[in-house]
Structure 1
Amino acid sequence: MKAIILAGGQSERFGEPKAFAQIESQTFYKRIIDVLEATNMFNQIVISTNEQLASHFDYPNIVIDDDQNKDKGPLAGIRSVMRQYEDEELFFVISVDTPMITQKAISKLYQFMIEHLIEDQLDIAGFKDNGRPIPTLAFYSPHALQYIDEALASDDYSLKNVYTKVESDWLDVQAIESTSYWYKNINYQQDLNDLKQVMMNR
């Protein structure tokens, strides 16, 4: 099983590449790698990014989107890694702007997927917040790849264009007994400032 850290976005709202922003003196991407490694669930962790950012990562396992699909968002990043490792049975996908992910959340989601895998033939199992799926915090089976290819060949590159066409199920974030921010995306500098403030006061 491989983990894919999606780190190829333009980060326009944030104002700088989010992967290299810091929380508790650690860059987002390194913090996520540490958490993923600590689960002992993955035979490899891969960073999916773009050509401009690739050389800035202090990490050996980097996959760059192919020219045909560059600038097509998270789907392109997931596809690039899946295509490179076509023999892999399962992939965990996480966006680099979710730096407070926990081992417990990943393990719980994996259990959720396995429990539903045989009965429901799940292709995607992820978290949901207030009923809204979070497809950038999810397990993907290789069966989803053909739908990812179809979406990228269309003019709708949204993750919704994939997860609505396969067997998917979503675990509520409230099922994880943890901090209120473990699954939060950092989209703006203010989000990061707010997170730091909450952590300081906990």
Structure 2
Amino acid sequence: MKAIILAGGQSERFGEPKAFAQINGQSFYKRIIDVLEGTNMFNQIIISTNETLAAQFDHSDIIIDENKNRDKGPLAGIRSVIQQYENEELFFVISVDTPMITQKAISKLYQFMVEHLIEDQLDIAGFKEQGSPIPTIAFYSPHTLTCIDKALNSNDYSLKNVYSHVKSDWLDVDMVESPDYWYKNINYQQDLDSLQQDILNR
């Protein structure tokens, strides 16, 4: 099983590449790698990014989005990795702007996926908050590749254009007993300031 860290966004709202922003003195991407390694679930952790940022990562496994899918968002990053490893059974996808992801959350979601995999033949299992799916913290089957290609060849590059057309199920974030910032996206500098304050107040 492989993990994909999505780190190819432009981070325009944040003002700098979010992958290299720091929380508690550690860059987002390195913190996520540490958490993924700590689960002992993955045979490879791959950073999916663009050619501008690729050289800045201190990591050996990096895949750059294909030119034809450049600037098409997270789907392009997911596709770039899955198409290289189509024989892999499962991929865990995590966005680099979710730096507080926990081992507990990943393990809980994997357990949820396995429980539903055989009976429901799930293609995607992810988290949801108040009923809304969070497709950037989710397990993806390689069977999603066909649907991803269709979406990338359309005018709708949204993750919803994939998960709404395959078998998917979602585990409520409240099922993970961790401070609720574990699944929060950092989109703006003030989001990072708020996160740091939340951590200090725990």
In percent, how many aligned pairs have the same letter?
Answer: 78
- Residue 191 in 1 paired to residue 171 in 2? no
The one-letter code of the counterpart of 1:54 is A
Cα offset, 1:84, TM superposition: 1.1
Residue 154 of structure 1 corresponds to 154
Describe the SS at the equivalent of 1:98.
Answer: coil
Gaps of 5+ in 1: none
Cα offset, 1:117, TM superposition: 0.3
The one-letter code of the counterpart of 1:107 is S
d(CA) in 2 for partners of 1:180, 1:95: 17
Q: TM-score, normalised by structure 2?
A: 0.99
Residue 83 of structure 1 corresponds to 83
1:115-166 CA distance string (max 9 Å, x none): 0001101000000001000000000001111000000000100000000000
Superposition CA RMSD, Å: 0.4
d(CA) in 2 for partners of 1:126, 1:115: 13
Matches for 1:1-202 after TM superposition, within 5 Å: 1-202=1-202
d(CA) in 2 for partners of 1:139, 1:174: 18
Cα offset, 1:86, TM superposition: 1.5
d(CA) in 2 for partners of 1:83, 1:141: 11
Cα offset, 1:100, TM superposition: 0.2
The one-letter code of the counterpart of 2:166 is V
Cα offset, 1:20, TM superposition: 0.1
Please identify runs of 4+ aligned residues in structure 1 that moved more than 4 A: none
Describe the SS at the equivalent of 1:181.
Answer: helix
Q: TM-score, normalised by structure 1?
A: 0.99
d(CA) in 1 for partners of 2:43, 2:87: 13
The one-letter code of the counterpart of 1:38 is G
d(CA) in 1 for partners of 2:119, 2:84: 29
Cα offset, 1:181, TM superposition: 0.4
- The farther-off stretch of 69-78 and 80-89 is 80-89
d(CA) in 2 for partners of 1:137, 1:178: 15
